[in-house]
A and B are shown apart, each in its own frame.
Chain A
């Protein structure tokens, strides 16, 4: 089963994404902050990560940088309510493969994960 890690400090956002992905046949692990995401990534190395940008303590762009250091081939889809150019540019510069703007449609999430897996 294809594995995806969802990282978001909002419980609702985590559960929402996890439920959609599970119902589309993915195995999902979740993390509630940057430190947990890095630890879980090191343990399980899911090929695809859906990562929120705006999180306390360690923001998503820093987490992305750390994940890419662990595995340069990790496929990370960034998501945020902040649809501004700097966030997209920073994410792409650091190696993200996709970008979701909240609130996103379930179809959009599944489509992005499918594309990341290709």
Chain B
């Protein structure tokens, strides 16, 4: 298996799950961009929702977007207009990422890649997240009616037995 292929195998379920959740929520058409390596996650956009991944593979799942997109998603989930800084909006964005990550990790579990999820963390403002030292990054962009959403996954194999390296677990 080449370097990109196995990384894609882990990243694609997150992209598909995020698209699925958005499609159910927004009931609109989405355009899913290709998964590309080496993205920097969460720096360009104004809002980042991060969930830590722990287990055989560790790392981060990050959804990043502009404030207007985040506000639209939070308002849709809350079924009323909400301010982005409101506790309800923050909780809604966290739940959005949590549901997507839950679906993705179930799919990964079925192919033997088990991971646990941390509680979602929502950050508003620029320069929030960067990279995962020593890890690999990949991601894709979803074009939605609410604006683009960047999906980033940073992976690093944990433990002393090995490491996510060159696209494979060693």
- Spell out A's residues near B (CB within 8 Å): 10-13, 15-16, 54, 80-84, 102-103, 106
Contact = CB atoms under 8 A, between A and B. Distances in A.
B79 interface: yes
Given A12-B77, A12-B92, A12-B94, A81 B102 contact: yes
Contacts of B96: 103
A14 B21 CA distance: 18
A101 B31 CA distance: 23
A10 B93 CA distance: 11
A84 B98 contact: no
A82 B106 contact: yes
Nearest to B110: A84
Contact of A11 (B24, B25, B91, B110): B91
B24 A103 contact: yes
A103 B102 contact: no
B113 interface: no
Contacts of A54: 102
B106 A12 contact: no
A102 B99 contact: yes
A106 B77 CA distance: 11
A82 B79 CA distance: 23
Nearest to A102: B99
A16 B25 CA distance: 14
B37 interface: no
Nearest to B101: A81
A85 to B, nearest CB: 10
Nearest to A10: B95
Nearest to B96: A103
A18 B90 CA distance: 18
Contacts of A82: 102-103, 106
Contacts of A80: 102
Nearest to A19: B79
A63 to B, nearest CB: 17
Nearest to B80: A19
Contacts of B98: 10, 81
Given A12-B77, A82-B106, 20 more contacts: A10-B94, A10-B98, A11-B91, A12-B92, A13-B95, A15-B88, A15-B91, A54-B102, A81-B21, A81-B98, A81-B100, A81-B102, A81-B103, A81-B106, A82-B102, A82-B103, A83-B103, A84-B110, A102-B102, A103-B96
